[in-house]
Amino acid sequence: MAKKNYYKILGVSRTASPEEISAAKNRLAKKYHPDANMKDGIDTTKKMQRILEAYRILSDPKKRASYDRKVFGKPSSDSDRNFDLFNLHNNNIEETDPVIGTPFVNYWRGADSLYDITLESEQLFKDKNKENTRSARLSDLAAQALSYAVTLREAEIPEKYWLPAIMDWLLFTWYKNRNLPVSYLLKLYDEYSKKELNGFKRVKIQKEQLHFQHSLKRLVNYG
């Protein structure tokens, strides 16, 4: 099975800087966001999911380097430079934008990391081999999960919104107006869910939410 070319999905080169990757994602988000196309009867949800998936990998230096090695055999030549630029770029966002406080993108990354951690823990709970190594890793994951969970709760984002698909929607709605408070973003999503998602999709999301919450609780309690 061929690997997805995340660079092609975003329309950037392998040496693209974090700023270029972010700009490409923003440009495509405006074009393919489901809300922007719903009036024309066009469902771009899957396209938007691919864009977000690509951005989720390429915007994280470690995930990007790992992806490059798996798909291309080695990291891009600018990976080290991009790592530094990425960190500098994020620090500048946090320090020079006091009006909006903590950017919602930080909560999005936290929820994304928390979801990945939870998935890894599920596999570890199933694997009964190498108990000592497994136990140490689960303890480490539990500590990380608790830290992310506390950050999201302090931001008053309830657990039911922590799924990647929901956080993706919230992120791109926030990008349209970065002055929107979290409480209003959540209200907008609830309205969107009631109007645009059919009963089957809502039930599916509810099942995913319950599964995720159960796995997260199991992991945190382990620590």
pLDDT tens by residue, 114-142: 988 898 888 888 877 767 778 888 999 99
Nearest CA among 1, 28, 27, 21 for reference residue 76: 21
pLDDT reported for residue 36: 61
Q: With residue 170 as reference, give the H or E element that holds it.
A: helix 164-176
Mean pLDDT score, 137-152: 92
Q: How far, in Å, CA of 145 to CA of 153, rounded?
A: 12
Q: How far, in Å, CA of 12 to CA of 56, rounded?
A: 14
Q: Are residues 121 and 181 in the same domain?
A: yes
pLDDT reported for residue 45: 73
Cβ neighbours, 10 Å, residue 118: 23
pLDDT reported for residue 98: 32
Q: Is the pLDDT of residue 90 over 50?
A: no
Mean pLDDT score, 19-40: 75
Which CATH number fits the domain that encloses residue 3? 1.10.287.110
Of 61, 78, 96, which residue sits at a domain end? Answer: 96
Q: Total domain count for the chain?
A: 2
Q: Are residues 118 and 193 in the same domain?
A: yes
Of 78, 96, 114, which residue sits at a domain end? Answer: 96
Q: Are residues 74 and 142 in the same domain?
A: no
Domain, as residue range, for 176: 100-223
Q: How far, in Å, CA of 137 to CA of 141, rounded?
A: 6
Q: Is the pTM of this model over 0.75?
A: no
Q: Is the pLDDT of residue 79 over 70?
A: no
